[in-house]
Amino acid sequence: MNSLPPIIHAELPTLRLQQRKSLGLSLLVTMALGLSLVGCGDTESTTADSGAATPETTAVIIAEESSLAEAVSASAQLDEVILQFANAQLDEDQNTEVQELSSAAFLAEIDRNSALLERVRGIDSDSLSFDEQIDQRLLIGLLESDTYTAQTRRMWEKDASIYIPAGQVGRLLEPASTQSPVERADALMVLLTAIPQQVQNGRDNLINPPQRFTEAAIFKAQGTIKSLKSDAGVLSGQGSASTEEFDTTLASAIASLESFELYLAEDVLPNANGSWAIGKEHYDYILQHRWLFDLDADDIYARGLQAFEETEALAQEVSERIQPGKHWSEVYETLKDEHPPADGIKQAYQAWIDKAQKFVIENQIVTLPAGEFVSTVDTPPAMRRSSPFGTFQGIDRFGTDLEGKLVLTPIEDWMTPEQQAQRLRSHHDAWIPVIAVHEAYPGHHVDALKTRENPRVLRKVVQEPIFSEGWGLFTEEMMFEQGFLQGDDVRLTQLRNRLWRAARVILDVSLHTGRMTFEEAVDFLAERVRFERYAAELEVGMYIERPTYVLGYLIGMQEIMKIREEWIARNGEPNPPSQFYDALLTVGSLPPVLVRESLLGRDSPVPAGDAGAGK
């Protein structure tokens, strides 16, 4: 799969959130007290002038203070709920702490989210500010969706990968980690100690998991075992544990993982015939509760199908200008012949990233903070098997860092000449500028920088793909409109990528609502989008594990297009473009319904019709 899926994670240390909350609540209380004192002062002046306070003026003062107290109380309640929600959002794959993975722990988490949902529902929205009302509705939708999904899907019974800490191991074995060797060794020791119990939880919890999930878990176990065997030894003796204690614990953890892998392969996989499809009712629930759409799965499917057909026609039109008479996919394959050398991949991406940054600044597309930049770095060796092409690492939305990183997996010496050639073709000259736009300028890197400017904690925590991934795809079209992405070869690459995103909508809906089997979805990608079959299987594997996520690219792009159209109809063409894009991005990566309300107001009429595929 030759994509570079963005991985943008906000680090949310509990202390940092508590500090922000404390400051926010202190400010609210200070404002309330200040206003009350001003009211008292004014009353005293009035009293001195008139001789005495009247019952009417006293009643007004009491009513105003009571109203203010209620407002502070509602805001404080919301702040408290947001804090609790935010601290729970530390992605398990982004921290190195040991997680409780018993069935009881998962059920307890559902109970906590249910209780949190009732608390946020009980807050008086009329006493909240407009932005706080947006946050309340956002939080209700997220908690409703998360709780419903957890209760319905019960992934701890279906997905053995949950019990294999591949991401945590990879981060702790990363030499370029910001943690010291001592810190990494101590954290790894804690994790290694917990692994035997975690895989035992897996044995206890799994109930007829799907075949595809089980195969993926076996693959993940093999990679984790390999990383521990080859790389963990360098931390032996580095932490508080003795070398002997570390080595013994490491051996025990590896043995537990090997036993679990064998259990999955020999006992679970032969009988694994559970379903991964969530069904239309569940699918509609996510669309309507999490993302607040007045749409169902059938509507989304129709939009994906229309966009696929329109984009395919555009791709063929461009191909005719390049090589008349050939199918767009044949023409696209010839573009891959032009690519940088193996030792020049990072430099090629960096050059286009720098060009895109310069263009965004000079044309005032978005206002960027001084000193920000994006660098290109190699994928750490421990992560290369699971990331054969690359990822994007964004800034900490709660921090002060300004560097985004495009992480690229190098062409390695162990590959056969054929494998090296095929991998190089994925980094072709027309592909690189599109990725520079999507991931860096003005794509995901810029999105994170602008979100950081919003003072509201929840806006930094929430990164809904229906906006964040939609923004990435939108920027490709926008930078074509602005004149940065030029040439039929680049345009064909861009359209091919959009065709792929339209296919994702068709396939994601079809897989989870019974329209298609796994194999039929793989066939569609191989035949209609011309994926290599192994890449198509990996791609469809993501769809079945993360239902609705991939809708974000195309549907999100369409929704942002509609927001822009309505903004222009009301305010005129933005001059410079940053007038609109700065305002759009600082709202945060929320469901487009809420982004639209934040920019245009709750009472503005929703425009009819859907945004199309573009020109």
Phi-psi region of 390 (alpha: psi -120 to 50; beta: other; left: phi over 0): left
- Looking at residue 385, what is its pLDDT? 66
- Looking at residue 90, what is its pLDDT? 60
Given a cut of 50, the residues of the chain with pLDDT beneath it are: 1-66, 68-69, 91-94, 608-615
Calculate the CA 357 to chain-centre distance: 23
Helix (H, G, I), strand (E, B) or coil at 406: strand
- Which DSSP symbol is given to 405? E
Q: How far apart (Å, rounded) are the C-alpha atoms in residues 561 and 508?
A: 22
- Looking at residue 384, what is its pLDDT? 72
- Looking at residue 127, what is its pLDDT? 95
Q: How far apart (Å, rounded) are the C-alpha atoms in residues 172 and 183?
A: 9
Domain ranges of the chain: 160-271
Note the maximum CA span of the chain: 97
- Looking at residue 12, what is its pLDDT? 25
Helix (H, G, I), strand (E, B) or coil at 417: helix
Q: Which strand ranges, in their side-by-side order, compose the sheet holding 390-393?
A: 6-7, 390-393, 403-408, 373-378
- Say which amino acid occupies 501: R
Could you read off the pLDDT of 253-284 as tens digits, one per residue?
A: 999 999 999 999 999 999 999 999 999 999 99
User: Under a CB-based contact definition with an 8 Å cutoff, are residues 458 and 301 in contact?
Assistant: no
Q: How far apart (Å, rounded) are the C-alpha atoms in residues 256 and 595?
A: 47
Residue of 517, 582, 526 whose CA lies nearest to 277: 517
CA count, 13 A, side-chain hemisphere, 10: 27
Lookup result for tokens 């091919």: 496
Q: How far apart (Å, rounded) are the C-alpha atoms in residues 192 and 93?
A: 16
- Which DSSP symbol is given to 102? S
Residues in Cβ contact with 438 at an 8 Å cutoff, skipping those fewer than 6 apart: 4, 444, 472, 473, 475, 476
Helix (H, G, I), strand (E, B) or coil at 404: strand
